[in-house]
Amino acid sequence: MGNKILIAGTSGLVGNHFIRQAAQMSHIDSIYSIGRSEVANMPSGVIHYKAKPDQWSDIIKDIKADIACSCLGTTIKKAGSQEAFAAVDLELVGAFFKATKDAGARHAISISSTMANAAAKQFYLRTKGQVELVIKALKFDRVDIIRPGLLKGERVDDFRLGERAAIVASPLLDMLLQGKYRKFRSVKAETVAKAAAILSEKSAFGYHIHQHDEIIRLTKR
């Protein structure tokens, strides 16, 4: 039986890879993308909707996706304030999943962050944790939360100096991160996207969190 998948945030680093990975999955027969901007070089057959967030609900209602995935995300620096950051990473992501659940989606996949925790003191991690709780409360048949460490890849029109410096240092840092600290290891955005595409095929019920080692294991199977 075929599935419809809807991916939000395909103009971003992980989302851009994910849309291409999804196009290669045999269990998916219809792929939809939604975002606030156009996406260059969209794979053949993918239907992309460029729309303002307040228009998303009506579009999502018409699509009636089986699988919903959010690759949405920004930074406080890029957003301009904590409030603007939360408007994307909490409010928009939460609204996306609520709309997809209301439209009949049974499976939710969300790209989050290592150490996401609704009780964290750090605003970024707290916001990431809060939206995870929002998704969990919607009671999809299956939820997959992917929590990568440092993402490696070339961002388009989104240069992040600190991230680039960390990527340069990542080969050494990754060797030092052992045991319980392995979850902080760097990972290619393409690998995260591949893991998300593989997870889209899973049907077992439940709420699942995937950190670095599990992300790597998924893509090696």
Give the pLDDT confidence of 60-83 residue by residue, as tens digits.
999 999 999 999 998 888 889 999
Q: How far is it, in rounded angstroms, from Cα 17 to Cα 161?
A: 22
Q: How far is it, in rounded angstroms, from Cα 210 to Cα 200?
A: 13
Provide the residue type at 144 as one letter.
D
Any idea where the domains of the chain sit in the sequence? 3-220
Collapsed DSSP state (helix, strand, coil) of residue 107: strand
Q: How far is it, in rounded angstroms, from Cα 52 to Cα 107?
A: 24
pTM here is: 0.89
169 vs 49, residue with greater confidence: 49
The CATH T-level fold of domain 3-220 is Rossmann fold (3.40.50)
Give the pLDDT confidence of 13-24 residue by residue, as tens digits.
899 999 999 988
- The closest alpha carbon to 192, from 71, 51, 37, belongs to 71
Q: Is the pLDDT of residue 221 over 90?
A: no
Collapsed DSSP state (helix, strand, coil) of residue 16: helix
Q: Tokens 């955005």 — which residue?
A: 189
pLDDT at site 67: 97
- The closest alpha carbon to 68, from 10, 110, 128, belongs to 110
The Cβ of residue 205 has, within 10 Å, a number of other Cβ atoms equal to 12
User: If you average pLDDT over every residue of the chain, what do you get?
Assistant: 89
State the burial class of residue 90 (Cβ atoms within 10 Å of its Cβ: 0-12, 13-18, 19+).
Answer: middle
Structure token digits, residue 201: 């095929």
94 vs 181, residue with greater confidence: 94
pLDDT at site 76: 84
Give the pLDDT confidence of 115-127 residue by residue, as tens digits.
999 999 999 999 9
The Cβ of residue 216 has, within 10 Å, a number of other Cβ atoms equal to 15
